[in-house]
Amino acid sequence: MAAGLCIAVLTALPSALALQARRTTSAQSRIPTGNASSLYSRDVGQGAPIIVLHGGPDFETSYLLPDLDRLSDSYRLIYYDQRGRGKSADRVTPEEITLSSDLDRTADDGSPQSLH
């Protein structure tokens, strides 16, 4: 009985590893903001796109990982560090921090799909 269980676990292991690899495969990029700064973006998964916003102030998307990546089996997740936070903090002045224009830039990737 124990040998049969061991074989079942070893048989399932490659598919579980493939699923984890698919979840963690992501593309990182910089989104220009029209001035000296840029927004850090991480794109993972396939399907209907969802822009993932981090809390704040002074947070970044890293605290959401890897928990939200589980949704990447069904959705395309677009994480971004909001202007002035995390990897989007370089060369930002307080006057430049706007959420709505950054959301527009993040969503404008040429995809015909609507965002959720």
Report pLDDT digits (tens) over 17-63: 444 444 457 899 888 877 778 889 999 999 999 999 888 777 899 99
Query: What distance in Å separates the CA atoms of residue 3 and residue 46, rounded to the nearest whole number?
Result: 38
Q: Which fold has domain 2-107?
A: Rossmann fold (3.40.50)
Asked if 86 and 40 touch (Cβ cutoff 8 Å), the reply is yes
> How does 36-59 read in b/e, with b if 16+ C-beta sit within 10 Å?
ebbbbbbbbbeeebbbbbbeeeee
| CB contact set of 63 (below 8 Å; sequence gap of 6+) | 54
Name the residue ranges covered by the structural domains of the chain.
Answer: 2-107
pLDDT at 8 over 50: no
Identify residue 23 by its one-letter amino acid code: R
Chain centroid, CA 99 distance in Å: 17
Query: What distance in Å separates the CA atoms of residue 64 and residue 85, rounded to the nearest whole number?
Result: 14
Task: Tell me what pLDDT residue 9 has.
Answer: 39
Report pLDDT digits (tens) over 60-108: 999 999 999 999 999 999 998 888 888 888 888 777 777 777 777 777 7
